[in-house]
Each structure stands twice: as C-alpha cells, then as structure tokens.
Amino acid sequence: MPYTKYHDPWGTGAGGATPIASASACAVAIPDTTTDFTSQSVTVTVAADRLLRIDAMGTWAAIASVARTVLIREGSTVLSLWRGYDSASWERSYSLFVIVAPSAGSHTYKVSGNSSPTSDLYTTFPSRQIVVTDCGPA
C-alpha cells in the first residue's frame, strides 16, 4: 500500500502547518498478461517503521504501435503504473516511483509490463533500472 502520511525527513518544520495526506486512484485498465522484466527485481530487508522510495526507469526502441504499461509490483500487488503509446519508429522512456511504508522483513519489488522485455532492450547499455532507497523513519 502506498504511503500517505506526511513526513518531514529534513526537519525543516513546515511552520506549524497541518500534516497533509494524499490518496490516488487508477482508472487505467491493467493488462491481464504482464511479463516481469529480465533482471528487474530487487529483494530488500526492511527494519520496522521505515519509508522506502522505489524508482523504475528505462528506455526502449518501439517495435510496433502499441499501448505500453509498466508496473512496479510486490508479488501481484501493483504499487505504481505508467502508461504510454508507442509509434513504430519512436524511442520511449518511462519513469515511475512509489513511496511505501512496508512491514519489517523481506520484500521483493519488481518491474513488469505488457511489452516484451527481451526483444526491445538496447544491447549496448542497461536500458532499465529499479532502485530502492531508504528515505528514513516513517
């Protein structure tokens, strides 16, 4: 579940402002069939009461005119979603993130989507990344 409680990790003290909260909803259909991107999962061991930021970013050369969906997931739970449309002659970049407050213990986060993770990767440099950052106490 995405984190929704305001936290001031830098101690800037928002001048006595009331803490904020946010909520989001997704109206985009998630594809029935998704493929985990090759080498795009990471397992972390989390201490109690921590905030994590999970970033996924990448680029591919479009091979067909198609709607693309990229997901950050934990198991089958979708934490974040990016959606774009490719033209057959374009390059496409995506960037998405989510902030979560997971329970203590081991968690595996992965990037997946409805595109072929092997046929459209550049071969000369890593074109996809997943990064998990500890943002401090929840």
Inside any domain, residue 50:
yes
Instruction: Count the domains in the chain.
Output: 1
Q: Reduced to 3 DSSP states, what percent helix, strand and coil does the chain have, rounded to the nearest 5?
A: 0, 55, 45
Query: What is the domain-level CATH number for residue 130?
Result: 2.60.120.40
pLDDT tens-place string over residues 3-43: 444 444 444 444 444 444 444 455 556 666 788 887 889 99
Inside any domain, residue 26:
no
pTM of this structure: 0.72
**55 or 117, which is more confident:** 55
pLDDT tens-place string over residues 79-94: 998 887 777 667 777 8
- Residue 115: domain span: 36-137
Q: Decide if 128 contacts 57 (C-beta within 8 A).
A: yes
User: How open is the CA angle 38-59-67, to the nearest 5 degrees?
Assistant: 90
pLDDT tens-place string over residues 102-120: 999 999 999 988 765 444 4
Q: Which residue has the tokens 């739970």?
A: 77
Inside any domain, residue 24:
no
